[in-house]
Amino acid sequence: MASASTSKYNSHSLENESIKRTSRDGVNRDLTEAVPRLPGETLITDKEVIYICPFNGPIKGRVYITNYRLYLRSLETDSSLILDVPLGVISRIEKMGGATSRGENSYGLDITCKDMRNLRFALKQEGHSRRDMFEILTRYAFPLAHSLPLFAFLNEEKFNVDGWTVYNPVEEYRRQGLPNHHWRITFINKCYELCDTYPALLVVPYRASDDDLRRVATFRSRNRIPVLSWIHPENKTVIVRCSQPLVGMSGKRNKDDEKYLDVIRETNKQISKLTIYDARPSVNAVANKATGGGYESDDAYHNAELFFLDIHNIHVMRESLKKVKDIVYPNVEESHWLSSLESTHWLEHIKQPNPVEQRYMELLALRDEYIKRLEELQLANSAKLSDPPTSPSSPSQMMPHVQTHF
């Protein structure tokens, strides 16, 4: 986004403190250069352009392209505009105008970003300036399509913490009390051979063998078998995720899959039926049968209840969001605002009642009740202790992860 003020930097003990500084975000900035650069970031080219600002009109500036970002600095004395756009934010680059274009600032590039911004740069028609900038931007904004590495593998920043060890799935499952006599940890997907979109470590019912999992995987889209995502610390209710069953038009059944879901149900004796939430509209689920997919029918899964959440697919959501962008950026047409907003259907998508969200709210209410009971128990016990300060000062100290991650 455009910034009207310059950032303040902390001093850094380099050879020339007056020239080089390190910002709070860890970016080494050489104040003799016009563009800040990360370690491993290299300047590819720079060009003088006219930035067509949607709010302030044309602004003369110089754009710098590195292997990580597009950086624009205003050259006008009455403007301190700066644009800092990581190349990964760019979704499309298009040429604007042609060789015969005569209108003012009608020749250049249109850049569409994933964060709803549209950047338009006007360039001179002579000297192939647009062609060069277009080719360089296309090459580095979409590196994999041009046999180039992602900048993440060129970044030479040093961190105090090894990112690969920040999250330890075994420790996280142990925190949740897993494995237990109902659930076990399996390494069947260690090399991502079972499912390439699932993590290497999975939690599955204790009674299900790895051979059972392989048979179930053949009946689930992309081999995404039902696996545990979360378990309630008290009543042991679980949230399990999976993909659609491969029922098809013929209504195929898989005894291994049916048995597997029944085993999941039996891990909690307090429930008589599984509740299955299908995020799709029911019409889409039925239509998916034509391509080999489908949903869990009552005939095959006797001990389960199926609810459709009527959430449209990503393509519908993306198109709806694009329409929202078109009516708010760069300008809002107030005279037709309500009708324009209604035509996007965005509010319809986000206001739908969601039974999953309702269940989560019920769980939050249970959590609050749990904390309240702990507080009452703490007060009762403290009254009996000769040295009350030795007891915990708050139940949140007993459940820090619940307070911050629930």
User: What is the spatial distance between Cα 108 and Cα 123, in angstroms, rounded to a whole number?
Assistant: 5
276 is in an annotated binding site: no
User: Rounded CA gap, 260 and 240, in Å?
Assistant: 12
Nearest residue to 362 via CA among 272, 183, 232, 268? 232
State the CB neighbour count (10 A cutoff) for residue 273.
11
Strands (E), 56-137: 57-66, 69-74, 82-86, 90-96, 108-113, 118-122
As to burial, measured by CB atoms within 10 angstroms (0-12 exposed, 13-18 middle, 19+ buried), residue 354 is middle
Q: Is the dihedral angle over the CA atoms 330, 331, 336, 342 positive or is it negative? A: positive
Of 335, 339, 245, 334, give the one whose Cα is nearest residue 295.
Answer: 245
| 283's tokens | 């019409």
SS3 46: strand
β-partners of residue 51 are 59, 121
Q: Name the CA dihedral angle for 90, 61, 81, 325, rounded to a multiple of 10 degrees.
A: -30
Q: Where are the alpha helices (DSSP H) in 123-251?
A: 129-141, 169-175, 210-217
User: Within 10 Å of residue 226's Cβ, how many Cβ atoms?
Assistant: 24
For residues 60 and 81, the answer to whether their CB atoms sit within 8 Å is no
Look-up of token digits 């009708």: 339
The SS3 of residue 192 is: coil
Amino acid at 336: H
Residue 313 annotated as binding? yes
Annotated binding site: 313-314
Q: Binding site for substrate, residues? A: 313-314
